[in-house]
Amino acid sequence: MRTPAMSKSEARQLEMGVLTACRSGDYRALTPESREVCVRMFRNQGWEIPSDLAPQEPVREELTLWKGIEIFLNYPEIRQSAEKDRYVMCFTHLVEHFGKDRPLKGMWVPHIKEYMILRSSAGVSPSQVNREKGTLSKTFQVLTELQYLETNPCRLIKNLSQKSEERQVYLSFADVTLIADHCPAWFQSIIWIAYYTGMRRGEIIGLTRQQVKLGQRMIYLRPEATKERQWKRVPVHKDLVPILEETLRVSSLNSDKVFLIQNKHGLRPPTLEGIKNPWPRALEAIEAEMKEAAEGKEVNPWPNRPRFHDLRHTWKTNARRSKMDTEIREAILGHAERGKSVTERYGRISDQELLNAIDGMTFDHGETEIWVRKDPQQTRDQNVIKPPRTKKKAVLAHDLSL
C-alpha cells in the first residue's frame, strides 16, 4: 500500500504499528498516519471496520469549502507534498468564486462546469483551469476517503482541451542571456540551472544543499521532488559549476534550500508562485528598452513571448542537436521509464555516463524559434504582465498556508 512515509524506516514503523494493532485487536494506539493506512487496508479488502477505527460519531456540522480545504491541506500525504503551494494558489481562485461557507455536499457538476467556463472566459489558460479543477477533485477524493463525502463530482467532468497551448520553442543562448541580465541576481542562477539541466521550476526551487554534490557534479532528486515520483540524477555541466558555487555561498539558518531570495525582510526560500514575476518583468523591460531605442515605435523582439518552461524544451533540443544518446537524454529529463519495456528498464546508466553526456553537450544551436498553435496576438495578450494580486487574494493565500 502507498503510505505517506518519507523513508523506509518510517514505512517500517507504519507497518509494525498496523501489524501490532491487527494482531492484538486494539487500534487505539495507532498514530493518525498509521490509522489512515489501516482504515484504507480494511476498505480495500472489504472487511468490516473495527469500532476503534470507525469514526466515533458522525460529522454533525455542515462541511464547508473552507473546512474541507483545511482537512485536505492537513492530510498526511498532502501536508508533505511538494505541490502544496500550488494547491494553495488554486484554492484562492476557488474560494473567491464559491465563498468560504459554500457547502461541499451541494456542489455538483453544473456548478463546477460554470466555474470552469467563467475562468476560461476571463482569459485563464485551459491548463490553469484544469489544474484548479484537479485540485478541487483531489480535495473531494481525500474527503471521500475520510468518509466526509460520498462522491467526487469532478470525476464526471472532462478537462478542457489544451491543444491550443501546444508550443514548439527554442531559445538562443543570446536571448537567454539577455533575459537573465534583466532579472534580479537571485533569479539569474535559477534561469541558468534550468538552461543547463532541463530541470522543472518546482524541482529547482525545492533543491536542498544535501541534494547538490558539486564534488561529483551531480544533483540527486528524491521521488517526492519529481513529477514522475521517481529517483532522478541530473549531471552538472562544467559551465554551471561556478554558478552553483556562487549560489551556495549564501546560506540561511532557517532553511537548507539552495536558492534564497534576499531583500529587506532577510533571506527566505522562494515559492512556485513567488518566482513567476521576474521572467515576465524582464521581458517587459527588454521591450521597453527596444521601443525607446526605436524612438517610440512598437518593437516585437519575439513573435510570441518566451516562457520560463521553454528553457526545458530548449535543453532537450540542445541535447538532441548535440547527438546525446536518447536514453540518457530522457533519463536526465525524467522521462526514462515512460513507454519502456521491462527488458529496457533493467539497463542501468552510471553517473559517469551521465557526466560524459553532459560534457559533450553544447548550448548554442541557432536563433530563437517560437511556434504556437493559437493566434500570435492572442498569445501575446495572454502573456501581458498581470496586475499585482489584490489584498483580498494575498490575505486569502496567507490564510490557506495551514
Strand partners, 261: 268
Q: Give domain limits for the chain.
A: 70-164, 168-372
* Domain 70-164, classified CATH 1.10.150.130, yes or no: yes
* Plot region of 334 (φ>0 → left; ψ -120 to 50 → alpha; else → beta): left
Do the two domains 70-164 and 168-372 of this chain adopt the same fold? no
What type of residue is 120?
Answer: S
pTM: 0.67
User: Measured between alpha carbons, how far is 180 from 295 in angstroms, rounded to an integer?
Assistant: 25
Count, residues in the chain: 402
Look at residue 14 and give its three-state secondary structure. helix
User: Pseudo-torsion of CA 351, 357, 358, 364, nearest 10°?
Assistant: -170
As assigned by CATH, the class of the 168-372 domain is mainly alpha
User: Measured between alpha carbons, how far is 219 from 236 in angstroms, rounded to an integer?
Assistant: 7
104 in Cβ contact with 61 (< 8 Å) = no
Tell me how far CA of residue 76 lies from CA of 5, 16, 34, 82, 379, in angstroms.
9, 18, 10, 12, 39
Per-residue pLDDT 10s for the chain (402 aa) are 888 788 888 888 889 988 998 888 888 888 888 888 888 888 888 888 887 787 655 445 789 999 999 999 999 888 877 788 889 989 999 999 999 999 999 999 999 999 999 999 998 989 999 999 999 999 999 999 998 999 999 999 999 988 777 788 999 999 999 999 999 988 999 999 999 999 999 899 989 999 999 999 999 998 888 888 788 999 999 999 999 999 999 888 788 999 988 777 778 888 777 788 899 999 999 988 988 888 777 777 777 889 999 999 999 999 999 999 999 999 999 865 555 555 455 668 899 999 999 999 999 888 999 887 654 444 444 443 344 445 555 556 556 655
Q: Which of 178, 181, 193, 201 is nearest to 241 (CA)?
A: 193
